[in-house]
């Protein structure tokens, strides 16, 4: 399993970190559990739709989104275009999630 960085022109999802090989609807719950229980992220908002699930999280002062969408699986992203420092931090969190997931 690995994290894949994707850059896109899709409005509201400019850059996202996809959990390759861990992309199912039910796996969203496992990722959320790692983020909240092991990494101490706080849930700010949680939404579920027919084809997608979204959870806005905060780790210290850093706000990001865990998202499942049927077109690209589970990923970490942000709805607003950010700078490289932001995406470096998001990639760091994604990598830590993978590390914890593989250690289970």
The distance in angstroms from the start CA to the end CA of the chain is 13
Confirm if 75 and 17 have CB atoms less than 8 A apart: yes
Instruction: State the pTM of this model.
Output: 0.90
Domain limits of the chain? 2-102
Low-confidence ranges of the chain (pLDDT < 50): none
How far is Cα 93 from Cα 65, in angstroms, rounded to an integer? 11
Which pLDDT belongs to residue 104? 58
Closest CA to 56 of 22, 27, 48: 48
Interval 45-72: pLDDT, tens: 999 988 899 999 999 999 999 999 888 8
């Amino acid at each position: 399993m690995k994290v894949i960085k994707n850059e896109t022109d899709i409005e509201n999802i400019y850059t996202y970190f996809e959990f390759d090989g861990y992309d199912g609807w039910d796996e969203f719950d496992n990722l959320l559990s790692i983020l909240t229980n092991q990494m101490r992220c706080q849930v700010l908002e949680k939404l579920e739709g027919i084809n997608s699930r979204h959870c806005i999280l905060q780790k210290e002062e850093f706000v990001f989104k865990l998202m499942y969408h049927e077109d690209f699986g589970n990923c970490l992203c942000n709805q607003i275009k950010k700078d490289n420092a932001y995406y470096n931090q998001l990639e760091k969190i994604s990598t830590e999630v993978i590390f914890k997931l593989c250690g289970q």
